[in-house]
Amino acid sequence: MRNGESGVRDTSGVRDTSSGPGASGAPPRLRVACLLGGPAETDCRPPGVTHWLDELAGERGDLALRVLDLADYDLPLRYPEHPTEQMSSFTAELAWAEGFVVVTPECNRSFPAQLKHAIDLGYDEWHAKPVGFVSYGFGCDGVRAVEHLRSVFTELHTVTVRDSVGIDLRFTDEKFPAGGSIYSDGLVRAAGALLDQLTWWGLALREARAARPYVA
Ligand SMILES: Cc1cc2nc3c(=O)[nH]c(=O)nc-3n(C[C@H](O)[C@H](O)[C@H](O)COP(=O)(O)O)c2cc1C
């Protein structure tokens, strides 16, 4: 929403996976919202993707991760005259975050409409913050969805981090035993690079926003 229209903060539908200060002498943990963008009815998210990211964030100790699952929100397609409670709750979570990881499927070489609708509900809440991506597809790893998202997030005055994580669900059954983790060493390394860059930008932009107002 533009110019501070966000409503009262309500954390319903949001799982807070970590909180509190960083290691002694370190800056407070970077507040990161993990936005799960797939449509609920067709979504085939990589198993445990949020749990996996949460574990990686926990090992680092410098991130406080919250999950923002679009399936938990009822966001009206037509804009009402005044924001609904769910809309205000959603944008308040965007405002809380100092950085974002967007988890998206690839749908017809782009990202799902539901995700675009949710992204468009925010405006000021995105400004001068970093965004990283975890994508997946069936036939490719979702990189085309990520490239489209980068363009959208440029308009919202964010910084998109270079490294992303891409998962091709075609290969998950063959490579990994049933019940096993799909998160190979390569994916863990990719996620490490993503989180390193997100944290660097997140801390740098936290200081920059505190030093002077952003010029949107
Ligand atoms: C409408 C639709 C379009 C899709 N388009 C693509 C695509 O362009 N590229 C891709 O890699 N996967 C595509 N997928 C697969 C999804 O990214 C995701 O892997 C899928 O939802 C899970 O597999 P499922 O088809 O068995 O549900 C598409 C899925 C749907 C429902």
Q: Residue 10: pLDDT above 50?
A: no
Assess if residue 56 is contained within a domain.
yes
* Tens digit of each residue's pLDDT (9 = 90 or more) over 178-193: 555 788 889 999 999 9
For a ligand 1 pocket test, name from 49, 138, 148 the mutation site with the most ligand atoms within 8 angstroms of its C-beta.
138
CATH code for the domain of 20: 3.40.50.360
DSSP one-letter string for the chain: --SS-------TTEEE---S--STTSPPPEEEEEEE-S-TTT--PPTTHHHHHHHHHHHHSSEEEEEEEGGG----SSPPSS--HHHHHHHHHHHH-SEEEEEEE-BTTB--HHHHHHHHH-SGGGTT-EEEEEEEESSS-SHHHHHHHHHHHHHTT-EE-S--EEEEGGGHHHHS-TTS----HHHHHHHHHHHHHHHHHHHHHHHHHHHS----
Assess if residue 152 is contained within a domain.
yes
Give distance in angstroms: CA of 56 to centre of ligand 1.
Answer: 26
Average the pLDDT over 83-95 and give the result.
97
Number of domains forming the structure of the chain: 1
Which domain range does residue 168 map to? Answer: 14-211
- In ligand 1, the atom with minimum distance to the C-alpha of 168 is 11
* Tens digit of each residue's pLDDT (9 = 90 or more) over 107-151: 999 999 999 999 999 999 999 999 999 999 988 999 999 999 999
Assess if residue 7 is contained within a domain.
no
What pTM was estimated for this model as a whole?
0.88
Assess if residue 205 is contained within a domain.
yes
Residues with C-beta less than 6 Å from any ligand 1 atom: 42, 44, 105-109, 136-140, 169
* Tens digit of each residue's pLDDT (9 = 90 or more) over 17-35: 444 555 567 899 999 999 9
